[in-house]
Structure 1
Amino acid sequence: MNAPATEVETKKAGCNEPCPIERGMRVLGGKWTGSVLWHLKDGPVRFNDLARQLGGASKKMVDQRLKELEAQGLVRREVLSTRPIAVAYEMTDMGHSALGVLEHLKAWTDAHGI
């Protein structure tokens, strides 16, 4: 009869599924993802305004991140007009719930001069 694995043995063996930190980083850890959410924290922002606020990100990159965030339920897209096309993005309740993580990250980087 085999003895149950100890906690250390289990940790060494790894797990078949990503841990909660890895799963969270898959959602929030993408390039520009945190910045996109941060800029949406105060309310809806039109696409071109958001792209300008992000400075170093191309419009294509901003568009990709917004589509990912929308698919994950963190951001909502609203068409303001069709001619010319104008869209605004805002955070969902789930998106707002991620702000605590981003605020802690900001405080940590500020505290350590990163």
Structure 2
Amino acid sequence: MAKKSAIETNERRRKLATGHAAKRARLKAIVNDKTLPIEERFQATLKLAEMPRNGAKIRIRNRCEVTGRPRAFYRKLKMSRIALRELGNQGMVPGLVKSSW
């Protein structure tokens, strides 16, 4: 099980990212628009730098919803390989059969 603080930090980042997504996208569009004057683009860059870092989508870490483990994460199932194996052995994952030969 992952540390509670790490899981909570990630959840805070997720909330911040969704809250700031529209404003961040607007500013990034201004920065990347080559037709605008350089001063306006620079001001947008400064405003973007003032925004909280944890508001960026890239800062969110994919974590297992069962254990909170940050590595070996299956996006489609939203869980780690270890949790998937344990739940698969218990028959909790539909369509997953433990192979034996």
- Give yes or no for TM over 0.5: no
TM-score (norm 1): 0.23
- More strand, by proportion: 1
- Structure number with greater Rg is 2
